Amino acid sequence: MDLKDFKKLEETLIQVGLRIAKRGEGALFVVGEVEYKPLVKQSVPPFKVVENPKLLETLALMDGAVIINKEGFLEAYGVMIKSTSVFKNYGTRHSAAISAAKDDNFVLIISEEDRKLRILQKGKMIMQIDGLQKDVEKSVDKMVGVLASVGAGTIGVIGTSLLLPGLGLAFIPGVVLFGSAYYLSKIMHKRR
């Protein structure tokens, strides 16, 4: 999958995740390879998730995770991911998410308790989105742009203000980006 298609996939997952969060429900999406065990009979054939977000949303509301392959096709739903890590102070869905966030997997977890979306990669949380923030869905394209730049070393947060070194200071209300405090402090020091 090329970068443009992957960004469209991330955008679709975040939009679906925001709808789920606003209703106070939870879900877990994993894009990539992960060890899992089906909890339900897999009766829905694979489909390209960006072409059918409504069906994706319906399947995500089942107990268990949704697995999407690197080409953007649904691989499985209603599955239990083998947890190998613990996401401290969170429940079993978060532990499954941190366990699945290995290598180049993209993991999006929607918490029913606090209605936040958390994006994890390489064993770490890299972004948190407040599903209750007013008009947050209008900034999804900006969020996806930031996610693309994370691989290039761009990361920082000041409250809910997002710092993009290449573009200056951009505000995305309701979004917190986690990462290198050292890099952030160097940029902030330069701005003074």
Q: What is the pLDDT of residues 86-143, one digit of tens each?
A: 777 778 888 999 999 998 899 999 999 999 999 998 888 888 899 999 989 888 988 8
In angstroms, the CA 9 to CA 2 distance is 11
pLDDT over threshold 60, residue 153: no
pLDDT for the residue numbered 79 = 96
pLDDT for the residue numbered 183 = 42
pLDDT over threshold 90, residue 177: no
pLDDT for the residue numbered 160 = 37
Tell me what the mean pLDDT of segment 167-174 comes to.
52
Contact 94, 124 (CB under 8 A): no
**Confidence label for 149 from pLDDT (cuts 50, 70 and 90):** low
SS3 for 15?
A: helix
In angstroms, the CA 168 to CA 65 distance is 37
In this predicted model, which residue has the larger pLDDT, 66 or 166? 66
Residues found in the chain: 192
Domain 3-191 classified CATH 3.40.1700.10? yes
Tell me what the mean pLDDT of segment 76-91 comes to.
86
Contact 93, 86 (CB under 8 A): no
pLDDT for the residue numbered 126 = 85
pTM of the model: 0.82
Tell me what the mean pLDDT of segment 58-78 comes to.
96
pLDDT for the residue numbered 27 = 97
**Confidence label for 157 from pLDDT (cuts 50, 70 and 90):** very low
Helix axes 53-60, 3-22, angle to 10 degrees: 50
